[in-house]
Amino acid sequence: MKHFIHLFLVSFLLANLCSVNAVAENTPKTATSSENTMIATTEPMRTEFTQVEKITFSDEAFSVQVGHTQDLDFELLPQEATCSGLEVTSSSPKIAIAELDAAGSPCIHITGIAPGKSTITIKASNKVIAKKQISVVDVLPEQINITADTTDVYIGDKGTLSISFMPEDVTSSKVTWKSSSAKTVRVNKDGTFQALSVGEADITVSHSNGVSGTIHLNVLPILAERVELTSKWDAEKPFYRNNSMQLTATVLPENTTDKTITWSSSNDSIATVSPKGLVKALSAGNVTITATTSNGIKEAFSINIPISPQKFRLSASITMVSNDHVGSHWSNGFEFNHEPIRSGSTLSLIPGEEFTVGGWAEDADSKPDYGSYSERLTLTDEMCKKSFTVEGDVVVVENGGRYSGNCAVWHLKMTFTPIN
């Protein structure tokens, strides 16, 4: 028994001694300073990388929109390989920019610059191990909206239609314009338009990808605001019965759509007006001629038509009836309103006007003997319708000599015949 215990203890001690030696061999060596201080020394750790042998991309076509960045994922073989040491380039940097993921993920950040194609190349140790052709495409509109300052416009108006896209970062903005009624609204390729006639029109803008937008425009007439009436008739000249006067209506503003004028007279028995504004006086009085636009704007022109003068033809004679030694060298004549007048003259008289007619005779001797006759009348309507006659005797009295007081008599006759 004691022998057994002794063997066990020896074996235990030997085992512990081997363990200590093993630890000592695996423990980093230390240097001892002059002060017997222990300083630990560490050998650098070695890092080993697995070389990339192959990179695979998805078979699907890759595209990115202009102005956008999209990840191009790939797979490394062997699987334990990393992206460390890889280089990536784009064959057309003006079309696309390529950058490896900074965190080491197996993907390339592709940023679209301009529409087109570019080849992405991946190198490892300056050796090409993968290529991928990618496409950069425009950002196309999904919706187009049209706006205008107003959808109610007037004939002759010009304007510009504005468009906006959804999404807002559209890079292909070329569109075409069309009007549903070019006779109503003409639209140009730059979105400017002009209203041509009263009506309605739908203006449509279309993109090549089939997306479109429409705006509805109403073209309204330009209404008259006022009317000016003018006449070439001399204002100083009376406008009598049977005279005609042309009135001209100017509708303002000048670009009024409908310049139609309707003419009317306040009293057709005094004056009438034609559809073209020609006024004809029918009788004396006051009358108002009115011009009215299609939208009800009115302008009045007042006219006074005085009583028209009546023209007469004068037929006059003076005949000696008796002469009692008064004289032998005679002269005679006729007067109208105390002014000389000849037989055959034309006179103008206004109904209601007073006038004086008469005649005279004179003996032209050394001491002339003179006599006259006159009559004051008022022109009546009846006198204007038919001839009237004024008659009377001109008595000349001798004013000296042995026949002083003797008389000579002349008969005066003046007939006034109306001229129609």
C-alpha separations of 411 from 65, 108, 320, 361, 389 in Å: 124, 139, 6, 10, 13
Residue 297 lies in a domain: yes
Between 33 and 252, name the one with better pLDDT: 252
> And the tokens for 250?
């100017």
Residues 412 and 337 in one domain: yes
Residues 100 and 59 in one domain: yes
Helix/strand number for the chain, H first, E second: 2, 34
Residue 5 lies in a domain: no
Residue 327 lies in a domain: yes
Residues 173 and 215 in one domain: yes
Q: Which of 203, 220, 237 is the last residue of a domain?
A: 220
Number of domains in the chain: 4
pLDDT at 301 over 50: yes
User: How much is the pTM?
Assistant: 0.58
pLDDT of residue 266: 97
Q: Which of 172, 202, 220 is the last residue of a domain?
A: 220
pLDDT at 324 over 70: yes
Q: What share of the chain is helix, strand, coil (3-state, %, to 5)?
A: 5, 55, 40
pLDDT at 103 over 70: yes
Residues 323 and 413 in one domain: yes
- Using the 8-state DSSP alphabet, how is residue 157 labeled? -
Between 19 and 212, name the one with better pLDDT: 212
**Could you report the per-residue pLDDT of 230-288, keeping only the tens digit for each?**
999 998 999 998 999 999 999 999 999 999 999 999 999 999 999 999 999 999 999 99
Cα(134)–Cα(93) distance, integer angstroms: 12
Residue 193 lies in a domain: yes
In 125-243, beta strands by DSSP E:
127-137, 143-147, 152-154, 158-160, 162-166, 175-179, 185-187, 192-195, 199-207, 212-220, 226-231
Residues 99 and 149 in one domain: no
Query: Greatest CA span in the chain, whole angstroms?
Result: 230
Residues 6+ apart with CB under 8 A from 338: 356
Q: Which of 220, 251, 266 is the last residue of a domain?
A: 220
Between 126 and 303, name the one with better pLDDT: 303
- Using the 8-state DSSP alphabet, how is residue 169 labeled? T
Cα(272)–Cα(277) distance, integer angstroms: 9
Residues 215 and 157 in one domain: yes
CATH of the domain at 147: 2.60.40.1080
Nearest one of 114, 77, 80, 79 to 94, comparing CA atoms: 114
> And the tokens for 74?
């790939």
Residue recorded with tokens 């033809």: 313
End-to-end CA gap in the chain: 185
pLDDT band at 49 (very low <50, low <70, confident <90, very high): low
pLDDT of residue 20: 37
> What share of the chain in percent tops pLDDT 70?
88
Cα(287)–Cα(272) distance, integer angstroms: 9
Cα(80)–Cα(336) distance, integer angstroms: 142
Residue 115 lies in a domain: yes
C-alpha separations of 366 from 323, 327, 397 in Å: 18, 10, 15
Residue 315 lies in a domain: yes
Q: What is the DSSP string of 74-109?
A: EEEESTT--STTEEEEES-TTTEEEEE-TT--SEEE
Domain that holds residue 236: 226-305
- Over residues 123-151, the mean pLDDT reads 94
Residues 200 and 251 in one domain: no
Cα(373)–Cα(124) distance, integer angstroms: 147
Count Cβ atoms within 10 A of the Cβ of residue 275 and give its class: 0-12 exposed, 13-18 middle, 19 or more buried.
exposed
Residue 170 lies in a domain: yes
Cα(335)–Cα(362) distance, integer angstroms: 14
Cα(59)–Cα(108) distance, integer angstroms: 16
**Could you report the per-residue pLDDT of 148-195, keeping only the tens digit for each?**
999 999 999 999 999 999 999 999 989 999 999 999 999 999 999 999
SS (H, E, C) 292-342: EECCCCEEEEEEEECCCCEEEEEEEEEEEEEECCCCCCEEEEEEECCEEEC
Residues 122 and 154 in one domain: no
Q: Is the peptide bond before 253 cis (omega within 30 degrees of 0)?
A: yes
pLDDT at 44 over 70: no
> And the tokens for 72?
């191009």
Q: What is the DSSP string of 215-263?
A: EEEEEEPPPP-EEEEEE-S-TTS---TT-EEEEEEEEESTT-S---EEE
pLDDT band at 48 (very low <50, low <70, confident <90, very high): low
- Over residues 45-70, the mean pLDDT reads 83
- Over residues 343-358, the mean pLDDT reads 94
Mean pLDDT score across all residues of the chain: 88
Cα(126)–Cα(123) distance, integer angstroms: 5
Residue 357 lies in a domain: yes
Residues 293 and 213 in one domain: no
**Could you report the per-residue pLDDT of 10-31, keeping only the tens digit for each?**
344 444 443 434 333 444 443 3
> What share of the chain in percent tops pLDDT 90?
75
